[in-house]
Structure 1
Amino acid sequence: MILFDIKADLYGPPSNEREDSNAFRARLAVSAVFDQVEPLQAQLARMASFREPMQRLGELAKVFDELRKFAMQLSDLARVFESRHNFQDRLRPVPNQFAPLEALDEKLKRLCASFAEHLSELADALGPAVMLQDQLAYLASAFEPAKVLHDEFSELAQSFALASPAMPDGRNTASSLTNSHG
């Protein structure tokens, strides 16, 4: 509502005309209905302030593309180690007869153990990202009604705009209410 509308609401309509009085009562009735929504509008505005941090999180998520490439390279390496492991199993009886193969076998075991340890650490480091994903999925489902409510309120606003008579100053009631409460 603009300042002169508030003054008119507080002190009554400027003239004693019945039409102005009805407009005054209509504004008060609509205002009373939407006053209870004002705290919710403040909370919705607060939600909008989270948009920028969410965009930054989205940019941070690009690190997963690089990790995906790294995982694919490690997968290729694991296939190489798998064939090496099969070869090693076939040669189990040979190390007793060929000492250098035993040293190589031991080095490969340590290398595999080191890879396993570092991959476990990497998987553990991704734990918070997985928890964040779960929370975001929950929030996304919790905010799903916002789309439906947005569409419903938009349709209702249009139906009121189409059904409302023009005000004496040339504005229609729905647009003046949107301007006064938006």
Structure 2
Amino acid sequence: MMILFDIKADLYGPPSNEREDSDAFQARLAVSAVFDQVEPLQAQLARIVSFREPMQRLGELAKVFDELRKFAMQVSDLARVLESMHNFQDRLRPVPNQFAPLEALDKKLKRLCASFAEHLSELADAIGPAVTLQDQLAHLASAFEPAKVLREEFLGLAQSFASGSPAMSDGRIRRLHRATRRR
């Protein structure tokens, strides 16, 4: 019933003693009408919070790269050993024709190197989706860059309106305009 009375007062004008309350109500309606267009955007912005937890889990998953870095160092050490074995193998190439047991060693070393290369390729392929995700996250981070600027500008505007002086400097207007154009 009170809501109908407020609407009636808004439409027909309140009695003279309720004029200030009505003015405040009309001001709220006017401001509300301006910000109504932002409501769908606010719902989308609220959804951003729901992505915080999955992002934290991704951060935890990224710790796998610390272990992979340690493994890469071990592989690098092993590669140095295999490189010296490969050099030794190159020097022995002419000899297997004269000494048959070295031919078997040569074949084993070739299989070892081929298997090593195959496993390294598989590991590199397994890391591929993480690289793609990194690229997507970098793109996403740049897409959210205007959020910082807009937040600062809106907070500044809110403070200036809260202090009772809604006048904005030309610089603040230009910065807000640039921030909104970056999107």
TM-score bracket relative to the smaller structure = 0.7 to 0.9
Q: Deviations over 1:91-150 (max 9, x none)?
A: 222222222222212111111111111111111112221111111111111111111111
RMSD: 2.2
* Number of the residue aligned with 1:31: 32
Q: Where in structure 2 are there 5+ consecutive unaligned residues?
A: 167-183
TM-score for the superposition, normalised by structure 1: 0.79
* Number of the residue aligned with 2:101: 100
Distance 1:105-1:73 versus aligned 2 partners, 3 A rule? same
Distance 1:99-1:16 versus aligned 2 partners, 3 A rule? farther
- Secondary structure at the aligned position of 2:124 is classed as helix
- Secondary structure at the aligned position of 1:152 is classed as helix
Distance 1:111-1:21 versus aligned 2 partners, 3 A rule? same
Q: Deviations over 1:54-89 (max 9, x none)?
A: 111111111111111111111111111112212222
Distance 1:133 1:46 in 2: 22
- Secondary structure at the aligned position of 2:96 is classed as helix
* Number of the residue aligned with 2:16: 16
Distance 1:111 1:103 in 2: 12
* Number of the residue aligned with 2:134: 133
8 A contact 1:95–1:101 mirrored in 2 = yes
- Secondary structure at the aligned position of 1:163 is classed as coil
1:115 aligns with 2:116: yes
Distance 2:5 2:85 in 1: 88
Distance 1:127 1:90 in 2: 37
* Number of the residue aligned with 1:148: 149
1:44 aligns with 2:45: yes
Distance 2:100 2:69 in 1: 39
Q: What is the total number of aligned residue pairs between the two structures?
A: 161
Higher helix share: 2
Distance 1:35 1:159 in 2: 21
TM-score for the superposition, normalised by structure 2: 0.79
Higher relative CO (CA 8 A, sep ≥ 6), structure 1 or 2?
1
Distance 2:55 2:6 in 1: 42
Q: Where in structure 1 are there 5+ consecutive unaligned residues?
A: 166-182
Identity across matched positions, percent: 83
Distance 1:29 1:125 in 2: 57
8 A contact 1:9–1:28 mirrored in 2 = no
- Once the two structures are TM-superposed, the CA of residue 41 in structure 1 deviates from its matched residue by 0.6
Distance 1:139 1:8 in 2: 49
